[in-house]
Every structure is written in structure tokens, then in C-alpha cells.
Structure 1
Amino acid sequence: MKFVFDLDGTICFKGQPVSESLLSSLEKLVGMGHEIIFASARPIRDLLPVLHERFHHYPMIGGNGAIVANRGEIISTICFEDQTIGRVTQLLKKYNVTYLIDSDWDYAYTGPADHPILNNLDPQRRAKKVKLEQLQSIVKILMLTANNMKAAEEQLKNIDVVVHAHGNEGILDISPKGIDKWSGLQQLGVKEGEYIAFGNDANDITMFQHAMHSIMIGHSEQLATFSSEQLVLDEEIEKNLVQRLGEWGDSNIKSEMTRII
């Protein structure tokens, strides 16, 4: 069985690396013959700092599906078309948008110096901060602040892109047409119904829709409809995740799913 994990708010919290207790649980699953895949909104560059280096060769999906890596190498990158970037750039100017824009590795940033996104942005200085026009291939756009974010969001509906609104942070997360975590899983050869998905936010919806079983960490109104199970996000979440993973590892997966249903 394949286990697919979102990172932030799912198995790592408050910008801290995934705990050793959770990492050990994942390794136990691998030792039992299961496969682990990480699927995040972060670009691959920013997945690496929160995972111990012994996990850096695991399959990874970054940028909500725009970047796929395996065995330590990027194997697939889906970029915005030039025409689309042109239209989005017009919106950036029109609504005075500050942003974080990622290529497959480097990035452009114009947001506030104290924005929380900086806590997770290239902490190990693996990439270069450059001007937008210097980025060769753009895979992900975060609109951070604007003089009218609602209007900007409405205008994006006229552009062929995928948009996730992170309501708690007031951020718009934009990906190329047809790109999401399920499309990233398909790039890795994953088939519908052959994996268990863990996530916490709207950008996990597509991978929940195609999973055999899906576990929501905490609560998201948008994600709840597609969730098979929920784990409460509290001070015991890591302990409860470790326990739950141990139960799956020690059981017949299909029998366990039948019990839950």
C-alpha cells in the first residue's frame, strides 16, 4: 500500500521539521513493504529542510503537483504558459500584489519582510532570490497581499489556472492549468484507489478524491466532504498519528478499512 502525506499542518507543525517519532513510524511502514510519498504545496526545495536527509530520496510532489521528484532527482516540471504569466503579471500590477513566485528551484519575492511565509522559504539557502523577469520557468504563484485581494481572485477566474484560497492567511495559491496533487501522483504512476492520503487543506481535495481512504488532520470545511476519517489537531496529534500508523502497519490494510467504514 502507498501512503501519501501532505506536510504542513499534517505531519509537520509550526514550520518545524517532521518529528523523529513520526519519521520512525514511516520507516516502519516501509520496512513492512509499504511505500511513502510526500505531497506538498511547497516546492521541492522547501520540502527538504523539514525532512531528514535519509528521506530525501523518497518520492515527492511539490508545488501542489507542478514538480515531481524521485530518488533525489526532479523528474517532472509543469510550468505556466507565457501568455498566462503575462495576464497574471497584469493583475499583480493592477492590484499592487506582493508575491512569492517559484520556478522549479529559484524564486522571486516582494512580500513584507515579516510575512509568516518567510519562515518556510528556503531556510537552507539552496536557491537564489531573483527578480520575476529572471525566472526561466514559473510553476507556482502565491499572492500574499493586495489592495483588493477579492477583486484579484475574481479576475483569476477569467484565466486558465488553478487557484486555492488559504482563508486563514489571506493568500491565493495559483498553479498551472490541470495541476494538482492527484496529477502529481499520476506522474509517479500511482493509480486510483491504491493509496491512503493524509492532508489538512483544500489543496488536498483531489488526492483525497482518488484515494482508497483519506484522513483529514484537524478540520477544513472544504476538505471534510472528501474525508473518510478525521484526527483532531491538538497537542496529542503526533502521538495519535504514530499510534494510527502503527495500527495500519500491523493490520491487513483492506480489512482495516472495512472495519472503519
Structure 2
Amino acid sequence: MKFVFDLDGTICFKGQPVSDALLKALEELVAQGHEVVFASARPIRDLLPVLHERVHHYPMVGGNGSMVAAGGARISTVGFDGEVLPVLLQLLTTYNVSYLIDGEWDYAYRGPADHPIRLHLDPHKLARNVPLQELESIVKILMLTSDHMAELEERLRQLDVVVHAHGGEGVLDISPKGIHKWSGLQQLGVKEREYIAFGNDANDISMFRHALHAVMIGEHPQLAPYASEQLPLDEQIERAIAERLTALGRLYAVASV
């Protein structure tokens, strides 16, 4: 069985790396013959610092599906097409947007130095912060602040792009048309109803919808209808996840699949 994990708010918390206890639980799944996949809104570049290097070869979906890697090598990236991209870039100016824009590896950041997104951005200095015009391909846009965020969101939803609003952060997360975590998983050969998903936010809906079993961490009203079960987000969450992985690993043992 394949086990697919979102990162932030699901198996790592407050910008800290995945704990050794949870890493060991994931590695135990692999030892039993299961496959572990990470699927995050973070670009691949920013997955690596919160994952120990001993799991860097595991399959990864980054940028909400715009980036896919396996065995430590990039498989594919998908950028915005030439029609919608100029419109998106014009909106940055029209609405005085601060942003984090990801290319295939490097990024362009314009915004407050103390913004939470900036504080956790590329901590290992694996990439370069370059002027926007130097990014040859743009695969993901985070709009952090704006003079008129509600109006900006309305404009974005009229475009042929995927928009996720992170209510707790007040951030708009924009991906190319047809790009989401499920599309990224398909690039890895993951098939419908042949994996178990763990997630916590609206950008996990696509992978929850196609999962055999979906575990929601904490509470999210948009995600909840697609969840098979929920684990409360409290001080015991890591222990609860590890115990659930043990149980699910035994239930979906390779020999029975």
C-alpha cells in the first residue's frame, strides 16, 4: 500500500522538521513493504529541510502538484501558460501584492522580512532569491498581502488557475490549471483507491477524494467531508499518528493487497 503525507500541520508542526519518532514510524511502513510519499504545498526545495536526508529519496510531490521528484531526482515540473501568466503578474502591480513566486528551483520574494512565510523560506540556502524577471518558468505563486485581498481573490477565481485560500495565514496560493496534489500523485503512478492519505487543509481535498482511506489531522470544514477519520490536533498528535500508522500498516499489509 502507498501512504501519502502532507507535511505542514500534518506530520510536521510550527515549521519544525518531522520528528525522529514519526520518521521511524514512516520507515517502519517501508520496512513492511509499503511505500511512503510526501505531498506538500512547499516546493521540493523546501521539503528537504524538514525531512531527514535518510528519506530524501522517497517520492515527493511539491508545489501542490507542480513539482514531482523520486529517488532524489526531479521527474517533472509544470508552469503557468503564456496566456494566464501575464495577467497574474499584472495583478501583482494592480493590487500592490507582496509575494513568494517559485520557479523550478529558485524563487522571487517581495514582502516583509518578518513574514512567517519568509522566516521558513529556504533555510538551508539551497536556492537563490532572484528578481522576478529572471525566473524562466513560474510554477507556483503565493500572494501574501494586498491592499484589496478580497477583490484580488475574486479576480483570481475568474482565471483558469487553481486558487487555495489559507484563511489562517491570509495567503492566496495559486497553481497552474489542472495542478493539484492528485495530479502530482498520478505523475508518480499512484492509482485511485490504492493509497492512504494524511492531510489537514483544503489543498489536500484532491488527494483525499481519490484515496482508499483518508485521515484528517485537526479540523478543516472544507476537508472534513472527504475524510474517513480524524485525529485531534493536540499535544499527543505525533503519538496518535504513529499508533495509527502501525494499525493501518498491519491492516493493509502487502500480502493482503
The alignment's TM-score, normalised by the length of structure 2, stands at: 0.97
Matched ranges for 1:47-66 at <5 A: 47-66=47-66
- Please tell me whether the aligned partners of residues 60 and 70 of structure 2 are also in contact (alpha carbons under 8 angstroms): yes
- Please tell me whether the aligned partners of residues 32 and 253 of structure 2 are also in contact (alpha carbons under 8 angstroms): no
Aligned residues: 255
Query: Percent identity over the alignment?
Result: 66
Q: How much has 1:90 moved relative to structure 2?
A: 1.1
Matched ranges for 1:149-228 at <5 A: 149-228=149-228
One-letter code aligned to 1:62 = G
Matched ranges for 1:1-261 at <5 A: 1-252=1-252
One-letter code aligned to 2:246 = G
Q: How much has 1:83 moved relative to structure 2?
A: 2.2
List structure 1 runs of 4+ shifted beyond 6 angstroms: none
Structure 2: distance between partners of 1:247 and 1:220: 24
3-state DSSP of counterpart to 1:225? helix
Q: How much has 1:190 moved relative to structure 2?
A: 0.5
**Structure 2: 5+ residue stretches without partners:** none
Q: How much has 1:251 moved relative to structure 2?
A: 3.1
Q: How much has 1:111 moved relative to structure 2?
A: 1.2
3-state DSSP of counterpart to 1:250? helix
Question: What's the Cα RMSD here?
Answer: 1.2
Structure 2: distance between partners of 1:162 and 1:56: 28
Cα deviation code 1:202-224 (max 9, x no counterpart): 00000000000000000001100
Q: How much has 1:250 moved relative to structure 2?
A: 2.8
- Please tell me whether the aligned partners of residues 15 and 119 of structure 1 are also in contact (alpha carbons under 8 angstroms): no
**Structure 1: 5+ residue stretches without partners:** 257-261
- Please tell me whether the aligned partners of residues 113 and 119 of structure 2 are also in contact (alpha carbons under 8 angstroms): no
Cα deviation code 1:58-105 (max 9, x no counterpart): 000000000000000111100001221100111111110000000010
Q: How much has 1:253 moved relative to structure 2?
A: 5.5
Q: How much has 1:108 moved relative to structure 2?
A: 0.3
Cα deviation code 1:107-158 (max 9, x no counterpart): 0000111100023210000000011111011000000000000000101122
**Distance 1:235-1:93 versus aligned 2 partners, 3 A rule:** same
Structure 2: distance between partners of 1:216 and 1:111: 32
**Distance 1:140-1:252 versus aligned 2 partners, 3 A rule:** closer
